[in-house]
Amino acid sequence: MRLTCPLCGDRDRREFYYYGAEDYLHRPVEGAPVADWDNYLHLRDNPAGVTKDLWYHEAGCSQWLLVTRNTVTHEISAVELVAERKA
Amino acid sequence: MPELIAKSALEGRSSTSGTVTLAEVAVGPITSIAVFPGGAKAVAKGLKTLGLAMPEPNSFAEKKGARIVWTGRDQAFLIGVAPPVLEGAAVTDQSDGWAVLSVSGAGVADVLARWVPIDLRLAAFPVGRAVRTQLNHMNVVILRVGDHAFEVMVFRSMARTAWHEVETAMHMVAARLGTKI
Amino acid sequence: MRIDGKGLIDRTKPVRFRFDGKDYAGYKGDTLASALLANDVRLVGRSFKYHRPRGVLTAGSEEPNALVEVVGPSNQTPNVRATMQEVFEGLVAQSQNRLGSLRFDLLAVNDYLSPFLSAGFYYKTFMWPRAFWEGLYEPIIRRAAGLGSLSGKHDEGTYEKAFAFCDVLVIGSGPAGLMAALTAGRSGADVILCEESHALGGRLLSDNQTVGGMPAGEWVAQVVAELQALPNVRIMARTTVTGAYDHGTYGALERVGLHKPARPNLPRECFWRIVAKHAVLASGALERPVAFENNDRPGIMMASAVRTYLNRYGVVPGKRVTLFANTDQARGVARELMAAGVTVAAIIDPRPDASSVEDCPVHVGAEVVGSRGRLGLSGIQVRKGSEIIEIETDCLAMSGGWNPTIHLTCHMNGRPRWSEELAAFVPMEGAVPGLVAVGAANGSMSTHGALVTGHAAALKAVEALGRKVSVAVPEAEDMPYRLKALWAVEGTGRAWLDFANDVTTKDVKLAAQEGFRSVEHMKRYTTQGMAPDQGKNSNVAALAVLADATGRGIAETGVTTFRPPFTPVSIAAMGAGGRAEGFAPQRFLTSDQASRDRGAPMIEAGLWYRPSYFPKPGETTWRDACDREVNMVRQAVGVADVSTLGKIDIQGKDAGRFLDFVYTNTFSTLPVGRVRYGLMLREDGLVLDDGTSARLGQDHYLMTTTTAAAGLVMRHLDFVHQAFCADWQVRFISVTESWAQFAVAGPKARALVNSFLEVPVELPFMGVAPVRIGGVDGRLFRISFSGEEGYELSVPTRYGEALFRDLVARAETMGGGPYGMEALNVLRIEKGFITHAEIHGRVTAHDIGMEKMVSAKKDCIGKAAATRPGMWGPEREQLVGLKTHAPISAGAHLFVPATEVHRETDQGYVTSVCWSPTVGAWLGLGFLKDGRARHGEKIRLVDHLRGLDVICEVCHPVFHDPEGEKLRA
């Protein structure tokens, strides 16, 4: 598997650390209801198809990446920097 | 008063196998420049005094013994000279954190291809390119300083392992010479 | 038998080798199989289950029978295909899977027991009585199972891995592959051409053909010479592409040194990871056997193999050859044999409409129904209508048509398509993105078809790369491929499908009869396709028999999944570079040599090597040294290298704000020149790490992490920063490697430290200051991990060794000296300081008694989760100290005395223990349910593994100087 880091370019999967779903980016505000935190920390979809998840370019630029990929075809349709993500 | 004698990680060792030579090199001061949000202009001004600018991703530039190497998002290492006064960036001394290995000679890319999972062909990795990647299990910065010459920056504590890996690959590649069909 | 004037072997270079203890001669260019056949050795192995005598079946990597052990100086490689192993001077090989000699294998008794050894016999037979499972059945099965054997010694051979990149990867160098490589190569694209064999040309080396008006061999030589001259083409012979993976990644195994005597540093094999923008699969096709009674005798071979041995190696595997084949193509074998002066006794062609015009007897519409000859073929029985004809023959060349070698196209879950016309599976287009199958691999069976499709695929790739090229496709044979599918001949005896695993047509029919109708179930029930050849010779025929037995078509029956690797890959090659020093980086301290000079044994801490203890003359155990070092720190002064702790330099106007966000407690209020202990949580409320952070300037902090979690914390900080506050004025970088840092602890620590400083400083507890040491800028921290007055002195790493040696030497003049990890651990347990033994990923701030450190005034990572019910309170296991007078162990569990010891009564567990020379007792740290309310209680510590059952006193975790008077002295 290969990922194209927006900064470093096309790289082998071994350079990256996988974290989990993009949900981790949507941190509830302080004092949010417990259900929001439960959802944030523990509830995940497991789609057969397009999914977004977080990868860390540990052996490269140390950037966290938001990867859009298809769990069925393995196609990777987008990789963006978490630090510069839109929305 | 104590007398503190400076020692490099590999004490300037060098080794040749086949056509490739491996050597620890002294590169002088290494300074990390990490630009704060909105700090680019101020940093550019500071670097201009050296005739340098923040490098594009995956590249390095040199001017009069000073080298600036891209090392990450809005981050670069200034190597070989003391840093100028820099506003707009976090400036951190990294001189002692790295060991720098020079690997050079015909077939040098074949040697590094034993451990480095990136495209080292000259067209894809021309002189002036600097990347962060891996050397077997170690995170490194690799610079192409010549058609047949690379410099590999590795964490100082791992220098002996890096040396061992590259030297092993040199031996294997040398042993293959003349084994073509 | 060798034929004069034929073959591509070098007859000027004879090679001596040994097989089963006997010396033979071959030539350079021979495989072990061709050299043995040249020496009339027909029996080369025994089959897996019935131990039937077996000979060479094929001339390629699909060989199921001729598997041998190659004996090297430091290794013995089992299951080597004799058809792939090149002979070299001094090669030693031996047959395998036998008990006794190859000719008189004692386990051949299995063949007579075959009525009891049908498919699924294991499942049916070894069921009862239960008591026999371990004592009787398993040893018997283990003795009989498996193929070759290993040397039992450590393999000292060299193995290699490597990465390669290209525009176009061409897999296979037959006519299609060579044409593709030539086309792509001439365009200037970067090409890698992989060929499994040692010579390029594929079937053009085996068949007597004409390409572009010249003998095929000449055309091959021309093309190869041109490719070798092109700087953008890399030819990799002896390299099998073993797998196709995501995003243009391919695995390939190169046999680097297996064809020559072992040499130092010369890899035996290299495992390549090749990344290609485009790939052309020109892997050809595999000829398939026909199942008939006793079709597995030595001397019965694939027709294409007979042709290869004749044309490529100048070897004829018999004196009276017969041919049993259902295509016109196969007739060429007979003609070439006759042209070479070999007697062809008969051609048996099952097609009723086939031509009977040849220079030898031809039986049209006939089938081979049986064979004879115990250790080698001596004759066959042919059924023609109602007549049975006996034919004397010592070599039967058989062909049931061809199966395109589609394996790689299925490696990413692609399913092949059944072609009625070819009676074979062909690749589904686009099954592996970027890979196009051409030539026979895609069902274009003629040489012309191979050249045309190879050229077209390369041209398409070249155009996609934005390049142009014009290459003429040479003229070649374009014979139509016309066959009558023939999988198995009707008969009553055992007819082999899978030679390697001894699976017969009967087994497949039995599987269907017993309800294993799915091809995947049949495979597992009969083990068909599960041998080293992975069914390359038998899959399609087996599922055809299954289709027939279940009354379905082949397309409907489907095929089992082809997975990587295409051919077996040795673990040593796949794991190359990962053994011994390559297993993980070794991180060395600047004090490493100084510690070793003092005889300190090293202990691994993460990737670091740290001194365990510093033995002195007269000390007989590590405990002697450890106890002395603890007393030394408590009474005088000790020096320890603590450079392994993670150090992160954090700068910016928002640095304090950032630390407030990642730590539970507040750092923005820390005065410059002061240090504070901080606790870091994961977002799920569990403790991530702890450590001290110093404020070096208004906008400048230095965070320390534990040794083990340094990388983890960096990743965490990067995430928090980039995900939640990328716009803040804060940047950070690891400076772990930049500073050598030494702990100086004990009542005489201040005196020792000050003797080094150009200007002595008076630091308060938890203070930090810049210092000058021998002309070098350093930092001094007043922090303690021992409970004594403690300092940490840091200098740029290059001065580390010099400073350590000097610190230790001066400490010794003060009754002190160096201390190692063992003493460091005892000191911190006595003081109740936690490490990752305690904060092991399942404890909360409350569990370790630090809930008050979670600031109520601000948000921080993990705060919301840490305050949820269940994360705190008396039902949780809380940090306690344990004290007793008998040895105790970490990992032990805690129980109320006089209760039964089992899971339900478990009250907690022990994380750290030591003998405390200071307290004069065994001390432990551990977690106990509602532990803080139970100080003074007696608790039972049980460790079944070490046979410990000890009563301990529950106490406060700080055993030494609980008021901290020494720290602040």
Map out the domains of chain C with their CATH numbers.
Answer: 1-156 (3.10.20.440), 159-286+404-464 (3.50.50.60), 291-399 (3.50.50.60), 491-552 (1.10.10.1100), 621-644+738-828 (3.30.1360.120), 646-734 (3.30.70.1400), 873-969 (2.40.30.110)
Cα-to-chain-centroid distance, residue C944 = 36
Contact check, Cβ <8 Å, A74/C246: yes
Tell me the Cα Rg of chain A: 14
pLDDT tens string C388-397: 999 999 999 9
pLDDT tens string C605-623: 999 999 999 999 999 999 9
- What is the pLDDT averaged over residues C61-67? 96
Confidence class for position C550, pLDDT limits 50, 70, 90 = very high
Contacts of B117 in chain A (CB under 8 A): 11-12, 14-15
Contact check, Cβ <8 Å, A15/B117: yes
- Residue A19 has φ and ψ, to the nearest 5°, of -110, -60
Nearest chain B residue to A60 by CA distance is B132
pLDDT tens string C572-607: 999 999 988 899 999 999 999 999 999 999 999 999
- What is the pLDDT averaged over residues C819-830? 98
Contact C2, C315 (CB under 8 A): yes
Q: Which residues of C792-821 are buried (b: 16+ CB within 10 A; e: fewer)?
A: bbbbbbbbbbbbbbbbbebbeebebbbbbb
Q: Is the peptide bond before C565 cis (omega within 30 degrees of 0)?
A: yes
Whole-number pLDDT of residue C128: 67
Tell me how many helices (H) and strands (E) chain C has: 23, 50
Whole-number pLDDT of residue C968: 85
DSSP state for residue C866 in the 8-state scheme: H
- What is the pLDDT averaged over residues C201-221? 95
Nearest chain A residue to C712 by CA distance is A58
Cα angle for residues C845, C733, B150 (degrees, 5° grid): 140
Nearest chain B residue to A84 by CA distance is B73
Contact check, Cβ <8 Å, B73/A61: yes
Contact check, Cβ <8 Å, C802/B2: yes
ipTM metric: 0.99
Residues 6+ apart with CB under 8 A from A68: A50, A51, A52, A76, A77, A78, A79
Q: How far apart are CA A51 and CA C719, in angstroms?
A: 20
The dihedral sign for the CA sequence C536, C539, C544, C548: positive
pLDDT at C776 over 90: yes
Confidence class for position B154, pLDDT limits 50, 70, 90 = very high
Nearest to B92 among C200, C581, C733 (CB): C733
Report residue C313 as tokens. Answer: 């190696």
Residues 6+ apart with CB under 8 A from C105: C46, C51, C53, C98, C99
Contact C702, C648 (CB under 8 A): yes
Lowest mean pLDDT: which of A10-14, C445-449, C759-763?
C759-763
| Location of structure tokens 């010369």 | C266
Within 13 Å of residue C370, how many CA atoms lie on the same side as its CB?
12
Report residue C829 as tokens. Answer: 């347990």
Tell me the Cα Rg of chain C: 37
Taking residue C774's Cβ as centre, other Cβ atoms within 10 Å add up to: 18
Contact C308, C330 (CB under 8 A): no
Whole-number pLDDT of residue C142: 66
pLDDT at C362 over 90: yes
Instruction: Name the residue among C326, C323, C348, C327 with its Cα closest to residue C336.
Output: C323
Residue C131 backbone class (left: φ over 0; alpha: ψ -120 to 50; beta: rest):
alpha
Nearest chain C residue to A18 by CA distance is C715
A11 inside 8 A of chain B by CB = yes
| Location of structure tokens 């959802």 | A39
Contact check, Cβ <8 Å, C722/A34: no
Instruction: Give residue C851's identity as a one-letter amino acid code.
Output: E
pLDDT at C418 over 80: yes
Confidence class for position C492, pLDDT limits 50, 70, 90 = confident
Q: How far B81 CA sits from the closest chain A CA (Å)?
A: 24
Contacts of B98 in chain C (CB under 8 A): 737
Confidence class for position B181, pLDDT limits 50, 70, 90 = very low
Whole-number pLDDT of residue B178: 58
pLDDT at A32 over 80: yes
- What is the pLDDT averaged over residues A65-69? 98
Q: How far apart are CA C521 and CA C525, in angstroms?
A: 6
pLDDT at C958 over 90: yes
Confidence class for position C144, pLDDT limits 50, 70, 90 = low
Tell me the Cα Rg of chain B: 17
Whole-number pLDDT of residue C143: 65
Enumerate domains of chain A plus CATH numbers.
2-84 (3.30.2270.10)
Contact check, Cβ <8 Å, A7/B72: yes
pLDDT tens string B88-133: 999 999 999 999 999 999 999 999 999 999 999 999 999 999 999 9
Instruction: Give residue C595's identity as a one-letter amino acid code.
Output: S
Whole-number pLDDT of residue B180: 40
Residue C238 backbone class (left: φ over 0; alpha: ψ -120 to 50; beta: rest):
left
pLDDT at A18 over 90: yes
How much is the mean pLDDT over chain C? 94
Residues 6+ apart with CB under 8 A from C573: C159, C160, C161, C253, C268, C269, C270, C271
Largest CA distance in chain C: 113
Confidence class for position B179, pLDDT limits 50, 70, 90 = very low
Within 267-296 of C, beta carbons closer than 8 Å to B belong to 267, 273, 275
β C53-54/C45-46 pair status: antiparallel
Contact C163, C254 (CB under 8 A): no
